[in-house]
């Protein structure tokens, strides 16, 4: 028997500030970047890319942190665990997440490396090409986890990106155990095909062992994880072991299979795609908000689609408009 959850969602993720600038596709090719991808970069490459970047703006990001920003804006009670350095970008990240109403207590890390940043080149069609300097973020120690906080949240939300560095991976394994011991649900977003190429066996083991209650993937990640190019075949492979599976399909909308029942939504129409950064993160926010409120899968998907549409209509991966109002209008 479990005690009632006092938090809706606790998330563990990279604590990143996004540095974003518009960029012509020709320049993205010239810089040797893979349009639409996410690449990890070291200090030297980060400096080289920053020097090549146009005038930019800084907006807090990080995949799971973006999802929490959406959840909190919708009215969920949330907490974030992630590692910033004791520097100005760390202050920016901490301010922005707390100002969104999210509890954030992980102490800043002294000394080098600095706070993580993601250099994002935004193409004229809104596609984003990300270059992540992980900095302090990859040094999240397992003892930064507050087990009481994790046990008090209905859902533990984990981002695949953070599975790559060693210390946070160990922390996340501990967090999964703490959440399950407390009778809570574990949600996981696969984040990127490169993460699956490196750690796919870990993820397949977690899934086979019933450790993942809610799984978010896009089509590419689903294919990488299951080895099935066909979306439906990939879904069929996972659903026996994943109670809630959500697959986003870009402009084609999204599919969810919840306890064996399938639902789908088209993408929300939007006037102009400005910047797709955070689309998946905000889709997860909308879906998860509906899910923790016990709403029907169709409604959860619709909420995800609305939040994703909001975030791609402007620069930055955190919501700007009143998404709670948008969602409640559309689902009334």
List residues near a copy of itself by CB under 8 A: 21-22, 50-51, 53-60, 69, 87-89, 92, 95-97, 99-100, 114, 316, 318, 320
By beta-carbon proximity to a copy of itself, the closer residue of 57 and 262 is 57
Query: Whose Cβ is closer to a copy of itself: residue 53's or residue 64's?
Result: 53
Pairwise CA distance, residues 13 & 26, whole Å: 32
Quick one: 61 or 297, whose CB is closer to a copy of itself? 61
Residue 110: closest CA among 136, 92, 133: 136
Residues 6+ apart with CB under 8 A from 311: 66, 70, 277, 278, 279, 281, 282, 317, 318, 319
CB of 278 to a copy of itself, least distance (A): 13
Nearer to a copy of itself among residue 137 and residue 154 (C-beta): 137
**Least distance (Å) between residue 163 CB and a copy of itself:** 27
CB of 86 to a copy of itself, least distance (A): 11
Q: In this complex, which beta carbon is closest to a copy of itself, that of residue 159 or of residue 275? A: 275
Smaller CB distance to a copy of itself: residue 263 or 324? 324
Where helices occur in the chain by DSSP H, the ranges are 25-30, 43-52, 63-74, 88-99, 147-151, 166-181, 193-208, 219-226, 231-238, 279-292, 297-311, 323-330
**Shortest approach of a copy of itself to residue 234 CB, angstroms?**
35
| CA gap 44, 241 in Å, rounded | 42
Shortest Cβ 88–a copy of itself spacing (Å):
4
- For residue 272, the minimal CB distance to a copy of itself (Å) is 13
Radius of gyration over every alpha carbon of the chain, rounded to an integer in angstroms: 18
Shortest spacing between CB 317 and a copy of itself, in angstroms:
11
Q: Which two structure tokens, joined as six digits, stand for 332?
A: 């009334």
Q: Give one DSSP letter per residue of 8-50, joined into a string.
A: EEEEE---EEEEEEE--HHHHHHTT--TT-EEE--HHHHHHHH
Query: 36 with 128: CB under 8 angstroms?
Result: yes
Q: Is the peptide bond before 149 cis (omega within 30 degrees of 0)?
A: no
Report the residue number, 205 or 320, with the smaller CB distance to a copy of itself: 320
């Amino acid at each position: 028997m479990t005690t009632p959850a006092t938090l809706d969602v606790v998330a563990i993720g990279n604590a990143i500030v996004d540095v974003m600038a518009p960029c012509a596709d020709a320049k993205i090719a010239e810089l040797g970047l893979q349009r639409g991808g996410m690449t990890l970069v070291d200090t030297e490459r980060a400096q080289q890319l920053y020097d090549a970047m146009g005038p930019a703006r800084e907006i807090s990001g990080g995949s799971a942190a973006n999802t929490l920003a959406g959840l909190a804006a919708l009215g969920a009670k949330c907490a974030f665990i992630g590692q910033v350095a004791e520097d100005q970008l760390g202050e920016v990240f901490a301010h922005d997440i707390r100002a969104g109403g999210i509890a954030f207590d992980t102490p800043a890390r002294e000394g080098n490396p600095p706070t993580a940043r993601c250099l994002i080149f935004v193409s004229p069609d809104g596609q984003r090409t990300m270059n992540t300097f992980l900095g302090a973020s990859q040094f999240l120690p397992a003892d930064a986890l507050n087990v009481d906080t994790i046990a008090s949240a209905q859902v533990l939300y984990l981002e695949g990106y953070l599975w790559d560095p060693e210390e946070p991976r160990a922390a996340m394994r501990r967090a999964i155990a703490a959440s399950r011991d407390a009778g809570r649900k574990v949600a996981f977003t696969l984040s990127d095909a490169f993460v699956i190429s490196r750690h796919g066996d870990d993820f397949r083991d977690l899934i086979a062992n019933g450790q993942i209650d809610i799984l978010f993937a896009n089509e590419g990640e689903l294919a990488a994880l299951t080895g099935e190019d066909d979306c439906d075949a990939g879904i069929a492979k996972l659903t026996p072991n994943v109670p809630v599976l959500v697959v986003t399909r870009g402009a084609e909308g999204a599919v969810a299979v919840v306890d064996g029942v399938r639902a789908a939504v088209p993408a929300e129409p939007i006037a102009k795609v400005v910047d797709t950064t955070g689309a998946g993160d905000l889709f997860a926010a909308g879906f998860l908000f509906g899910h923790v409120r016990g709403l029907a899968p169709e409604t959860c998907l619709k909420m995800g689609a609305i939040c994703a549409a909001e975030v791609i209509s402007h620069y930055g991966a955190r919501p700007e408009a009143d998404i709670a109002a948008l969602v409640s209008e559309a689902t009334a």
